[in-house]
Amino acid sequence: MKGINKLLERIGRGVGKVVGAMYQAGRDSVDQVIKNVLPFMAFISLIIGIILKTGVGDWIAKTLSPLAGSLLGLVVLSIIIAIPVLSPLLGPGAVIASIIGTLLGTQFATKAIPAQYALPALFAINPQVGCDFIPVGLALGEAEPETVEIGVPAVLFSRFVTGPLAVVLAYFASIGLYTK
């Protein structure tokens, strides 16, 4: 009898833990979606709507697409975004990367830019990732003030090299992707 009781208790505890974890996970996910994802979707939809209806899309297709539809163009784009003075300004909230990504997305959708440039484009719009957040990120890692002093310029300079490099790498990694 005692054994059975113990077993039942253990099962009860186990189930309670799993159900509790899942319920909390559901709550966290819904919170995240309502607080962070939906507002951004509204904002992105507004931009897409305006682009589609005003003819800005055609203008983008003529000016931006040739740039984004070639390896050289994407490398140039990534170099501009990775300039050490610009990159911390372009970083916050990944808003700029999302907007450029969405603009390019509308061009991928109409096939104005061939789909095999999607992978290098993902890296070309994002060499500034986290450049606005370096001191905070290092502080989260419990770094000394001296480390932060050196770390900020070190990361910014590194991006100037690795940003374009990532685009080239992604270009060669997308061989065989969406060729048909």
Partner 1 sequence: MQALATAAEWFIGLFKAGGETFVGLVTGIIPLLVILMTFVNALITLIGPEKIDKVGEAAGREGLIYYPIRYMILPFLSVFFLTNPMAYTMGRFLPEKYKPAFYDSAVSYVHPPLGIFPHVNPGEYFVWGGIATGVEQAGYRVSDLAIRYLLIGLVVILIRGIVTERITAIMSKRSAASEQAAAS
Site for partner 1 in 3-62 (CB under 8 A): 17-18, 21-22, 24-26, 28-30, 32-33, 36-38, 40-42, 44-50, 52-54
Which one, of 155, 165, 5, lies nearest residue 87 by Cα?
Answer: 155
Q: What single-letter amino acid sits at 121?
A: A
Question: How many positions of this chain bind partner 1 (CB under 8 A)?
Answer: 87
3-state secondary structure of 38: helix
Contact window for partner 1 (CB under 8 A) among 4-12, 59-67, 78-86, 124-132? 124-132
Minimum Å gap between C-beta 9 and partner 1 is 19
What's the rounded Cα separation, in Å, for the pair 9 and 51? 60
Residues in 61-120 that interact with partner 1 by CB under 8 A: 93-94, 97-111, 115, 118-119
Q: CB under 8 Å to 108, separation ≥6 — which residues?
A: 115, 118, 121
Q: Measured in whole angstroms, how far is the alpha carbon of residue 176 from the centre of its chain?
A: 24
Report the half-sphere exposure of 129 (CA within 13 A, side-chain side): 10
Report the half-sphere exposure of 70 (CA within 13 A, side-chain side): 7
Q: Which is nearer to partner 1, 8 or 177 (CB)?
A: 177
Q: Which is nearer to partner 1, 6 or 17 (CB)?
A: 17
Which is it for the CA torsion 48, 49, 54, 55, positive or negative? Answer: positive
Minimum Å gap between C-beta 5 and partner 1 is 25
Minimum Å gap between C-beta 105 and partner 1 is 3
- Report whether 120 contacts 167 (CB < 8 A): yes
Does 133 engage in binding with partner 1 (CB under 8 A)? yes
The correct pick among 7, 8, 89, 161 for binding partner 1 (CB under 8 A) is: 161
Minimum Å gap between C-beta 130 and partner 1 is 3
Minimum Å gap between C-beta 38 and partner 1 is 7
